[in-house]
Chain A
Amino acid sequence: MKTFLAAALLCLSFALPVTARADEDAFSGLTTTQFNVIATSVSQIAQEGGPRALPVLRALSDHKLFAAKEGDGLFIQTDSGWQDARTGAAATPDPEMVRPVRLNNHVRQAVAAAEAQLQLIAGTPAERQAAATLLYQRHDPAMLPAIDAALGKTDDASLKTMLQDARAATLLTPGAPPSDEQTQRQAVATLYAAGGLDARGVLTQATTSEALAPATRKDAQDAVASIDRSLRLWGFGQDAFYGLSLGSVLLLAAMGLAITFGVMGVINMAHGELMMIGAYTTWLTQRAVMSVAPSLGSFSLILAVPAAFLVCGALGILIERGLIRFLYGRPLETLLATWGLSLILQQVIRSLFGPTNVAVITPSWLSGSFHLGGLEITLNRLAIMIFAIAVMGGLMLVLRRTSLGLEMRAVTQNRRMAALMGIHTARVDALTFGLGSGIAGLAGVAVSQIDNVSPNLGQNYIIDSFLVVVFGGVGNLWGTLAAAMTLGVGGKALEPIVGAVSGKILILVLVILYIQRHPRGMFPLRGRGVES
């Protein structure tokens, strides 16, 4: 025991002169190895401000801040070498004699708050907004002075709103400086107006807070109930968006199928594989554009649209001429033959490009999302919805405004009569199949943006797209649209209630039951030639 004490004293006697020698400043705390001292020091740095505060805190959170093993030197590691943390001047510490300043969660939180506090004053407008948002989300009572200071300085309306929200949230947080009932109720009203999950969290806490007056707590309770209602509504909206986007994918996948099935009565089991080839065409186009003109890489997707249509359309005509035309009048045999074809196409792609996923790049103009009220709209899903509508519109135009479309509709309604009227049905069949396949290729382009591109891609869509076609009613594009959206939105609506997989099972069972009641789908085709 005595020896231990002696050793401790000895250590102290060495340590003391070191501490004494240092000129104490806010940065000194960073040179210790105790996390709470580091965290306190971080807050202190933020309070004092100064030009070096932000770079040092950034270096700390990036693990680039080093402390001297002896003395209180602080250094930032840069790409080119070292600089002194306090002055920013170049420095040459002995790399053997420095150690990184360590972080734990507590310190990290302190750093985030401190950075926000500093940026509120010194940052760019965007940085200030982000900082205010962070302060709002953390609503740490210790930040109240910083918020007040920033509120006094800013004229920017949106920043001011965010800061006022942050202030309200902070005031209602346990541990905030006591305030009068008027201010508290004002804060509750502000948060209620702000809405959202963060406000709900603060208000929920406020309903049980002893520091608040009973009337304020009642206000908070009402506000929580009201926010819950609106969150639920936005939640429905979000589900509907996801549902519509899923429906658009189904629509793209099913449209081509609907055309070929409607006109020829042929279920093309290789349809999914044509989508897969469309996705691979996208990938190849991207690679080609990247190697020829890398600067245009992000626009390769636009080039991939016609490329996929042409590749798959040509392949479709080839399939019709080489296989399907020998099997007319035997739809079930066609189903088997095209299934065989789908196995071969899968294996061809697997042999050429390997069994694993290939990386199709999402261009920057399709990445990210934006907020619309309480909705989060992801750009790629929005683009697919627009694309699906555009493809459907184009298809409608082809069907209604071109002579090929007229002939296709005639053949759909009554093949024999159409032939008697001089329509070259074999040619119409080939072109229809090409058109349907080309649309499968377009679907492949869309799917490449949201799903893995692998030789198995088609398999994931084929059953769903069959169901869409049959559910909607053959030969009716509006039916296909309605069916795709019903399945998409219905699936997403069931998901939160029963879970993703059970929701899918339920949808399948419901569609099976529906088809039992209405064997020709929602919008059956009526015409003289339609089989009984």
Chain B
Amino acid sequence: MNASSLSFRGASVTAVIVVALTAVLAIGSLLPASSPIQISPFVITLAGKYLAYAMLALAVDLVWGFAGILTLGHAAFFALGGYAMGMYLVREIGARGVYGNADLPDFMVFLSWKSLPWYWWGSDHLPVALILMLVVPAALAALFGWLAFRSRVSGVYLSIITQALTYALMLAFFQNGFGFGGNNGLTDFKDILGFDLHSPYTRAGMLFLSALILAGALLASRYLVGGRFGRLLIAVRDAESRTRFLGYRPEQVKLLVWVFSAMIAAIGGALYVIQVGIINPGEFAPANSIEAVIWVAVGGRGTLSGAVLGAVLVNLGKTLFTAWLPEMWLYGLGALFMATTLFLPQGLMGLRQRFTPVRPSEVTPEVTDPEGGTA
């Protein structure tokens, strides 16, 4: 049919698998502790973290796999979403904090601030936090993308300024005076909408909700890139100048997918904060953004499902490695980067396709760039 049908049918399958597996985990965690198949809370936290990372990977795949923008700064949107949710969760602590101040978060009391800064206004309402979570990263992405795509910054140049962006944000959030808890970030959360964050029911519920949101994001992305717009996007990726000469506006196409992707990353960040229980400026580190790119590369660039698969597999590997052979993890991760780019340019999804007979109607999307490597 069209160039992208194969992998995107996979997206709905992946969505179903994610929801089903998560449901099993969530139910398993609610079994009594005596039961042999009870899932420990630790596993639930890990699974929640993986799903949040899968959202980030999906966001990276949208821009890298479909628009050819290698972002090295997507963790910035992830962390901004996380901070928006963290602000709400910190306000929910109220008078139960160390200093017992009902109006000010602990770190502000510690810095002997007298009142909330204006940008914390309304942060005690979840709807405001949700709006902030989407609007702030989207606005930043829109501004950055509008400036960059309009002046046709592309390739490694774009990669490097996305990295500079997240680095600048990291430095800013590390400062105490910036009003987001400095070094320590936001943590010690108690509950969300009155549900205790430490209760197994809340945790199982949040995990399942994350799975539903991830499935929703997968389907939404599939809808976005599967149709006419998706083909335009791939045209921009593979031959931007040609697309421009055909009368399209590549910068608008890129901007739209860029902002959409930033919002998905931000939602991932919010889910991360709720389930992991902390957000600090380290999340902005450029290394995190680059790691997110390798999840996508491992899973398979431009396939949506591959991003989710890669994020879960690589992070599972990281968890196991750092538990058993902590000093070996960096070797493993480094080797993964090199091996994937050298031997598996299409990722694991590409591997699957390599062993399935290709019918003429199902040509996989071309990810290499015929214009001579400007990608």
Contact = CB atoms under 8 A, between A and B. Distances in A.
Contacts of B287: 459
A397 interface: no
Nearest to A520: B157
Contacts, number: 136
Given A340-B336, A505-B168, A332 B156 contact: yes
B79 interface: no
Contact of A340 (B156, B174, B334, B368): B334
B1 interface: no
Given A517-B151, A519-B153, A531-B374, A335 B159 contact: yes
Nearest to B373: A329
Interface stretch (B89-97, B253-261, B272-280, B338-346): B338-346
Given A347-B331, A515-B157, A337 B341 contact: yes
A315 to B, nearest CB: 15
Contacts of B159: 267, 332, 335
Interface string B317-346: 000000000010011011111101110010
Interface in A305-347: 323, 326-337, 339-344, 346-347
Contacts of A450: none
B241 A339 contact: no
B290 A339 contact: yes
Contact of A346 (B293, B330, B337): B330
A326 to B, nearest CB: 6
B171 interface: yes
Interface residues of A, number: 47
Interface in B157-185: 157, 159-161, 163-165, 167-168, 171-172, 174-175
Interface in A384-403: none
Nearest to B149: A516
A36 interface: no
B174 A336 contact: no
A42 B102 CA distance: 60
Chain A binding site: helix, strand, loop or mixed by DSSP? helix
Nearest to A511: B164
B46 interface: no
Interface string B139-163: 0000010011011111111011101
Interface string B57-87: 0000000000000100000000000000000
Nearest to A351: B327
A303 interface: no
B157 A463 contact: no
A532 interface: yes
A512 interface: yes
Interface of B: 70, 144, 147-148, 150-157, 159-161, 163-165, 167-168, 171-172, 174-175, 241, 286-287, 290, 293-294, 297, 327, 330-331, 333-338, 340-342, 345, 368-369, 372-375
Given A267-B156, A340-B336, A463-B164, 19 more contacts: A261-B156, A265-B156, A326-B342, A329-B368, A329-B372, A332-B70, A332-B155, A333-B341, A333-B345, A335-B70, A337-B337, A337-B342, A339-B337, A340-B335, A347-B334, A504-B168, A505-B171, A508-B164, A512-B144
